[in-house]
A and B are shown apart, each in its own frame.
Chain A
C-alpha cells in the first residue's frame, strides 16, 4: 500500500487525523490527487533516494528507517541479504 508523509495536519474519514511529519497509508484514495497537487502530502516512495542502477549495498545504505519502510526498501533489504548469503557460499 502506498505511503505518504503529511506535510501539514490532515483530518480524514472516518474521524482520523495525521499530524505533519507522520507517514500514513490509509488516506482516502479519492483525496490523494488533490493532496499531492496542493503539496499537503508527499509520496515517501517518490522521496526515496534509492537508484535502481546502484549496487545493492549502496542502495541499502540510503534507506531511512526513521519513517518506516516502503515496499521498495523492503525489497532492497531482502535482496541485499540474499546477495550476502550467496557471497558467503
Chain B
C-alpha cells in the first residue's frame, strides 16, 4: 500500500530561518536537458542525457517585520551567497523525505489585491556540483535539544558508495555554550562513526551549514544526527538536519 501524505505538514527552512509558517505552497522540480542525436537514416528519434538542473518554487503570505520573509527574500535576491535550503514535503519527522539544495534566489514577487491577503512567491535555483536537487531524509526535524544526545537513527536499507550532502539549520538558540552537531553512520545500528562534523554552533547563535561528503565515500546503512558537545549551563536549541545520499 502506498503511504500518502497531506501537504499541510510541509516544512521549509532557508538558512537559519524556519519559514514553514509563512508558506502555503512548495514545489520542487528536477529537470534534465535531452539533446537530440537523431540523424539521417533514423526512423525514430534518439536523445542523450544532458545537463541537470533543479529549482524550488515557494508561495506564501507576506510579512514585513525584521528577520521575516520579506526582508529575507529582498536581501537574498541581490546576494552572491547561496541559500542553504531544506524542504520537507512529508513533514517534520525523522526519516521522512526532504529536498536539499544550495540555492540562488532568481525571483521574488509580492501580490496585493483587494479582498485578499498580501501574497508572496519566490523561485530558488539549485546551484552546485550535482546541478539539481538532492533528495534525502531528515535526521533531526525541528528538534529541541536540551542535552548532548543522539537522535534516532534512520535505516536506508543498504549502504551507498558515492558520498552525499548534509544540511544543518539551527533556527533557535538560547544555549549559553558551544554545541557540536555531527552526522554519524553505521552498518549495524550499534557502533556509529562520524561522517560529518558541522562547525561548532556558538552560544546563542542561529546558523546554517551545508557540507558535501566527497564522491566515492561509503555511507553506511544507518544514519543519525548526534549532539556530541553541549556546552554552557542553560538554554536549548532547535535544529533540523538533513542528509542526501548520492
Contacts and interface: CB of A to CB of B under 8 A. Distances in A.
B188 interface: yes
A17 B218 CA distance: 21
B191 A12 contact: yes
B156 to A, nearest CB: 14
Interface string B171-195: 0000000000010100110111111
Contacts of A38: 187, 193, 218, 220
A35 interface: yes
Interface residues of B, number: 16
Instruction: Tell me the dominant secondary structure on chain B's binding face.
Output: strand
A11 B220 contact: no
A27 B193 contact: no
Contacts of A31: 187-188, 190-191
Nearest to B150: A11
Contacts of B218: 38-39
Most buried by B among A8, A31, A35, A40: A40
Interface of A: 8-13, 17, 20, 27-28, 30-31, 34-35, 38-40
The 4 closest A-B pairs by CB, nearest first: A34-B187, A31-B191, A9-B194, A12-B191
